[in-house]
Amino acid sequence: MEQPFSLTSEVRDGTLIIATSGYVNNVGGEAIAAEFARHFAGGVRRVVINLGGSKVVNSVGMSFLIEIIERLQEAGGKLVFTNLDPAVEKMLSIMGLFQFAGKAPTVDGALGEFAASGGTP
Partner 1 sequence: MSDAVTMKMTLPKIPDIELVALEGLDRLARHLGIADAKIAEARIIVTEAIVNALEHSATEAPEVAVEYTMTPTELSIHVRDNGRGFAPEEVEEPDIRSKLGTPNKRGWGLKLMKSMSDDFHIVSDGSGTTITIRKLLR
What angle is formed at CA 2 by the lines to CA 10 and CA 5, rounded to 5 degrees?
Answer: 35
Residue 30 binding partner 1, by CB under 8 A: no
Residue 76 found at the interface with partner 1 (CB under 8 A): no
CA 109, chain centre distance (Å):
14
Cα dihedral 22→31→114→91 (10° resolution): 50
Q: Does 44 interact with partner 1 (rule: CB under 8 A)? A: no
Binding part of the chain for partner 1, among 10-18, 45-53, 60-68, 113-121 by CB under 8 A, reads: 60-68
Applying the rule CB under 8 A, the residues between 90 and 109 that interact with partner 1 are 90-91, 94-97, 99-100
Question: Which residue of 69, 109, 119, 120 would you call a contact of partner 1, by CB under 8 A?
Answer: 69
Beta carbon nearer to partner 1, 47 or 57: 57
> Using the rule CB under 8 A, is 62 a contact of partner 1?
yes
- In the bound state with partner 1, the residue whose beta carbon lies nearer, of 16 and 24, is 24
Residue with Cβ nearer partner 1 (3 or 14): 3
